Structure 1
Amino acid sequence: MMDKALLIIDYSYDFIADDGKLTCGKPGQSIAQAIARKFEAYIAEGQPVFITMDLHDFNDMSHPESKLFPPHNLRGTAGRELYGAVKEVYDKFRNHPLVFWIDKRRYSSFAGTPLHQYLTERQIKMIELTGVCTDICVLHTAVDGYNLGYTMMVDKDAVQSFSEAGHQFALSHFEHSLGMTITGQSC
């Protein structure tokens, strides 16, 4: 019975690789194995995995992020591919009926996507968030999830950001403002 889901948020080449277009680099790379293990565990347990991936178009100056960040995760580029061990697991399970790829154009995985509908159809009430960046897309997804009534958890070893200060702020916000369960090695 499906009762929970894993979200892998923006774990792309552009956000993780040393030469990615908007990379958080080594901190993002350090969580690859934790996300890959969770991915495999959720599939083994018969629970769905949703990959939500940032999508931008070339020369789309109307998108608000175009004023904030350099071009990244551009449609049709290798920058949108999953990175490292997470890509390896995805390649193994890409056609599995419990694996879903959802493109998103805003920070939140819920904004303008069918994610809430997919979760509702499967009667999923609990979601675990992983990926990057803890204080941007993961945070905005968590706030929307909270407002939609989901119970949420995050493993601090499976999220990361550009800055340690932003990462720690988001973890604190998850726990103290959104009531999320925080797990991880130092918990």
Structure 2
Amino acid sequence: MRALLSIDYTNDFVATRGALTTAIDGQNIEKNLVAVTKEFTENGDFVVYAIDCHKTDDLYHPEQELFPPHNIEGKAGRELYGSLLDLYESTKERQNVYWIDKRHYSAFSGTDLDIRLRERGVSEVYLTGVCTDICVLHTAVDAYNLGYKIFVRKDAVASFDPVGHSWALNHFKSVLGAEIVD
């Protein structure tokens, strides 16, 4: 079985005025990201929305020193971006759709994602979302270490750093054995 992990495609990471935005690069993948998410959802595959969640003034979070406040719980910046929000709202009650609040870069770190995948017999994970070289990368590394076959949807990942984006795509393929697919 396969699963789609939709990582951090929120207003703060994609909208033009998002707190830590990929801007046009993130906006340009919306159509492809939504189409593949819809395909997986309708096919009955497991679809996981793994979304960064921060608390206001969390002094102990390591990202405090690295990035401006973003994806704050209860704020508009944490809402899914564009038509992905509509897709999620219309499918969130399905048994194959699952939401994970994540506190770290990787969707596996501190969550029950591995358990949810294994109980469904998932062996292949398809990665979409942002940022290619941060949260998508760290999720891919953990997926590799846990023994999953990794597929990265090149047409459905983006970053605010073009060099980091290219580096991560190469790293997925050459170091993690991932298949880069469109």
Q: TM-score range by the shorter chain?
A: over 0.9
RMSD of aligned alpha carbons: 0.7
**Unaligned 5+ runs, structure 1:** none
Q: 2:130 — aligned with what? A: 132
TM-score, structure 1 normalization: 0.96
- The question of 1:87 aligning with 2:85 is answered yes
Q: 2:44 — aligned with what? A: 46
1:101 is displaced (CA, Å) by: 0.4
How big is each residue's C-alpha offset from its partner over 1:13-38, in whole Å with a ceiling of 9 and x where there is no partner? Answer: 10000111111100001111111111
How big is each residue's C-alpha offset from its partner over 1:26-51, in whole Å with a ceiling of 9 and x where there is no partner? Answer: 00011111111111111221101000
- The question of 1:56 aligning with 2:54 is answered yes
1:111 is displaced (CA, Å) by: 0.2
1:117 is displaced (CA, Å) by: 0.3
Given the alignment, which residue of 145, 148, 164 partners 2:143?
A: 145
What letter corresponds to residue 106 of structure 1 in structure 2?
Answer: H
**Unaligned 5+ runs, structure 2:** none
| SS of equivalent to 1:136 | helix
How big is each residue's C-alpha offset from its partner over 1:123-175, in whole Å with a ceiling of 9 and x where there is no partner? Answer: 10000000000000000000000000000101111000011110000000000
4+ residue segments displaced more than 3 Å:
none
What letter corresponds to residue 20 of structure 1 in structure 2?
Answer: G
Q: 2:152 — aligned with what? A: 154
Distance in 2 (CA, whole Å) between partners of 1:46 and 1:147 is 26
Given the alignment, which residue of 3, 23, 43 partners 1:5?
A: 3
Distance in 2 (CA, whole Å) between partners of 1:90 and 1:174 is 27
